[in-house]
């Protein structure tokens, strides 16, 4: 099962075109998938005091979080589709990571070292758009590569070597042809 974690509020966005490209390809190849559309599901990225009471034990009082964890437990691949805002993940996606990837579900901690538990996820694909190119992001620390991919996803058990990142920079000025080529490239990833 492939799980798409999608974070963009507008159905007219290029990110939504990416989501549509991926899901159409899965439909065409009869690939099982599920979508977590954070905005459509009104996901609340803010911790409540009640959640924080349970955080250290990895428990949650919310059924929606447990449902997301179950979806991830059934997955062999995670696909993240999101825009890069202020050099980083959108807050709603960061909150999803904070609230869903809990201790005893996504990782164990032993003496300050993390051991990832989501090793059944053999592949992760990160698909992003931004005004900045990857080179521009690198000049500003590249939080996507250095933190999200190399640290966060690796710490929950997804090996860095099994994570690919596809990025369309200069999104505001990209031509229709560049956008079409990017969508073709993304569709080809899942053309099995």
- 15-59 per-position pLDDT tens digit: 999 999 999 999 999 999 999 999 999 999 999 999 999 999 999
- pLDDT at position 101 is 98
User: Phi and psi dihedrals of 34, rounded to 5?
Assistant: -140, 150
pLDDT digits (tens, 9 = 90+) for 49-107: 999 999 999 999 999 999 999 999 999 999 999 999 999 999 999 999 999 999 999 99
Instruction: Assign 103 to helix, strand or coil.
Output: strand
User: Phi and psi dihedrals of 27, rounded to 5?
Assistant: -60, -45
pTM higher than 0.85:
yes
CA–CA separation, 179 and 176 (whole Å):
5
Percent of the chain with pLDDT over 70: 100
Residue 142 in contact with residue 102, Cβ under 8 Å?
no
């Amino acid at each position: 099962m492939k799980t798409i974690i999608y974070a963009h509020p507008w159905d007219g966005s290029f990110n939504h075109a990416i989501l549509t490209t991926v899901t159409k390809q899965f439909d065409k190849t009869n690939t099982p998938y599920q979508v977590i559309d954070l905005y459509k599901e009104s996901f609340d990225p803010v911790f409540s005091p009640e959640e924080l009471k349970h955080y250290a034990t990895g428990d949650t009082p919310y059924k929606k979080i447990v449902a997301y964890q179950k979806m991830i437990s059934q997955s062999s691949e995670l696909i993240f589709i999101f825009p890069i805002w202020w050099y980083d993940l959108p807050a709603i996606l960061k909150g999803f990571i904070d609230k869903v990837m809990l201790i005893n579900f996504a990782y164990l901690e032993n003496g300050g070292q993390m051991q990832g538990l989501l090793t059944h996820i053999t592949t992760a694909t990160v698909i992003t758009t931004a005004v900045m190119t990857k080179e521009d992001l690198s000049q500003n620390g590249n939080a996507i590569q250095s933190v999200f991919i190399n640290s966060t996803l690796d710490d929950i058990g997804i090996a860095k070597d099994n994570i690919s990142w596809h990025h369309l920079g200069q999104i505001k000025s990209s031509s229709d042809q560049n956008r079409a080529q990017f969508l073709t490239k993304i569709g080809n990833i899942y053309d099995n």
